[in-house]
Amino acid sequence: MIALQRLSRLALVPLAPVLIVQGRNLRRTTPRLADAALPWSGIHPGPDPLRLLVLGDSTAAGVGVESQADALPGNLARELSALYDRGVEWTAIGKNGATARDLLARFIRPATEARYDIVFLSIGSNDALTLRSRRAFARDIRSILRILRESNPDAVLMMSSLPAFFRFELLPNPLRWNLYLHSRNLETAAREIVAKTPGAFMSPPPPPYTDGFFASDLFHPSEAGYRDWAQFAVEDAVASGGLPPSLA
């Protein structure tokens, strides 16, 4: 399986005509949901607030819900507040459709203009969707983590796993399976880099998505989906030792 993952782009070549047609049909028929409304920053009340940055693609942009308070930033803030019994000041930076290369080109600078205690990186799904190479994706992830670490030397760096595309019923086969295979290839590369980055860790693949996890486009998380995701990410981080018992 590992060898097949590393050749995931080559494995797609014989199926390219079918995959192109399926991809075009999917883009034409899938509803395009808006980003969460501004503001993309907020405060979960409590003493001695932690500073949280959510950086990434459509999930950082809150696609699937109306407010960032109900998207990943707000839900992560609530989970972290409950864990540490502290307030949380949260900020979201990113763009729907962004790849790791886009983060480096357009968003890494604003992401380093302030200091944060925790940075949550959610990127890679669009790199998989656009069939970016493992080498290019790995190069960008390495640069993103290096810059984030240099600008926030004491922050906890959390990176999400890529979506479990094989569970996306919206996606027809063979597109679904091949997209999952390529995403696993990219995720394996990211895990190797995260493991070598001090103070960084990457969430494991998610458990089966619950009923109501997806928004109306059947692709992005709903309010319940973001809530489940944040809870899973924080609980795993605590269990694996990625999040320390206390933060200064």
Please report where in the chains the tokens 């094989």 appear, as a residue: 166
Does residue 188 sit within a domain?
yes
Whole-number pLDDT of residue 248: 73
Does residue 224 sit within a domain?
yes
Does residue 248 sit within a domain?
no
* Nearest residue to 95 via CA among 144, 34, 23, 8: 34
Q: Are strands 41-44 and 50-56 parallel, antiparallel or unpaired?
A: unpaired
Phi, psi of 59 (to 5 degrees): -75, -25
Print the domain residue range for 149: 2-30+39-240
CB 197 within 8 Å of CB 148: no
Does residue 138 sit within a domain?
yes
What is residue 43's three-state secondary structure?
strand
Summarised one tens digit per residue, pLDDT across range 178-220 is 888 889 999 999 999 999 999 999 999 999 999 999 999 999 9
Summarised one tens digit per residue, pLDDT across range 45-66 is 999 999 999 999 999 999 999 9
Whole-number pLDDT of residue 88: 98
Does residue 246 sit within a domain?
no
What is residue 37's three-state secondary structure?
strand
Does residue 230 sit within a domain?
yes
Residue 108 confidence (pLDDT) above 60: yes
Whole-number pLDDT of residue 80: 98
Does residue 81 sit within a domain?
yes
State the average pLDDT for the chain: 89
Q: Report the predicted TM-score, pTM, of the whole model to 2 decimal places.
A: 0.91
Whole-number pLDDT of residue 10: 47
- How many structural domains compose the chain? 1
* Nearest residue to 218 via CA among 181, 163, 179: 163
CATH number of the domain where residue 86 is located: 3.40.50.1110
* Nearest residue to 36 via CA among 1, 3, 69: 69
Angle CA 146–56–23, to nearest 5? 120
Whole-number pLDDT of residue 8: 45
Does residue 94 sit within a domain?
yes
Q: What percent of the chain has pLDDT over 90?
A: 75
